[in-house]
């Protein structure tokens, strides 16, 4: 189900893919299918994160169980990881910091419904949140996207770089 251009892109991103056995990749495919991911989901996920083929099934299971332990339903975890398969490779500490911070500011829903936002570091999200709050433009469920603007747009709109923000509002 992969195009030639997909394969080229995936192997440029993760050259070790060439050294994985067909059995290994087939096993990963079957494991994920048994977890209720469709074939198209798996293709999309592995195109985004070809290193998924190298992750141990036990580690994937542990991450799913970890997220369940945080209160997420398996259907939510599947939805989240289809959107952002990199969750499987994030550290538990990274996930905890993001969950804790998003809950603290009332934006915990974005973890399930706008999962791609988890790509941004919690340090930058925190700094931007504090900066915007100081400007009396506190992000909320209706306008939280400004926390995640591209750096160029954020600079243009607010006149401050990510580095300046991180220095001015250190996380922790």
Least confident of 12-26, 111-125, 156-170: 12-26
Please say if the pLDDT value at position 13 is more than 90. Answer: no
What would the mean pLDDT of 147-161 be, rounded to a whole number? 97
Confidence (pTM): 0.85
Confidence of residue 18 (pLDDT cuts 50, 70, 90): confident
3 state SS for the chain: CCCHHHHHHHHHHCHHHHHCCHHHHHHHHHHHHHCCCCHHHHHHHHHHCHHHHHCCHHHHHHHHHHHHHCCCCHHHHHHHHHHCHHHHHCCHHHHHHHHHHHHHCCCCCHHHHCHHHHHCCHHHHHHHHHHHHHCCCCCCCCCHHHHHCCHHHHHHHHCCCHHHHHHHCCCC
Please say if the pLDDT value at position 35 is more than 90. Answer: yes
Q: How far apart are CA 115 and CA 6, in angstroms?
A: 23
What would the mean pLDDT of 46-67 be, rounded to a whole number? 93
- 166's tokens: 């991180």
* CB-based contact 88:120 (threshold 8 Å): no
Angle between helices 122-134 and 92-104 (to 10 degrees): 20
CB neighbours (10 Å) of residue 138? Answer: 14
CB neighbours (10 Å) of residue 20? Answer: 14
**The pLDDT of residue 31:** 95
* Percent of all residues in the chain with a pLDDT value above 70, rounded to a whole number: 100
Q: How far apart are CA 50 and CA 160, in angstroms?
A: 35
Confidence of residue 10 (pLDDT cuts 50, 70, 90): confident
Confidence of residue 41 (pLDDT cuts 50, 70, 90): very high
When the pLDDT of each residue in the chain is averaged and rounded to a whole number, the result is 94
Report residue 108 CA to chain centroid gap.
14
Q: What is the pLDDT of residues 86-139, one digit of tens each?
A: 999 999 999 999 999 999 999 999 999 999 999 999 999 999 999 999 999 999
């Amino acid at each position: 189900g992969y195009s030639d251009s997909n394969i080229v892109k995936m192997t440029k991103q993760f050259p070790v893919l060439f050294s994985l056995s067909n059995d290994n990749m087939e096993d990963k495919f079957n494991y994920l299918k048994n977890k209720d991911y469709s074939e198209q989901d798996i293709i999309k996920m592995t195109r985004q994160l070809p290193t998924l083929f190298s992750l141990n099934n036990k580690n994937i299971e542990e991450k799913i169980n970890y997220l369940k332990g945080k209160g997420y339903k398996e259907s939510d975890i599947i939805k989240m990881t289809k959107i952002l398969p990199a969750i499987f490779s994030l550290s538990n500490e990274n996930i905890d910091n993001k969950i804790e911070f998003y809950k603290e500011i009332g934006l915990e829903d974005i973890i399930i419904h706008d999962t791609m936002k988890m790509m941004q570091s919690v340090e930058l999200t925190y700094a931007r949140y504090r900066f915007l709050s100081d400007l009396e433009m506190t992000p909320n469920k209706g306008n939280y996207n400004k926390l995640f603007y591209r750096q160029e747009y954020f600079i243009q709109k607010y006149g401050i770089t990510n580095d300046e923000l991180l220095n001015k509002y250190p996380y922790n």
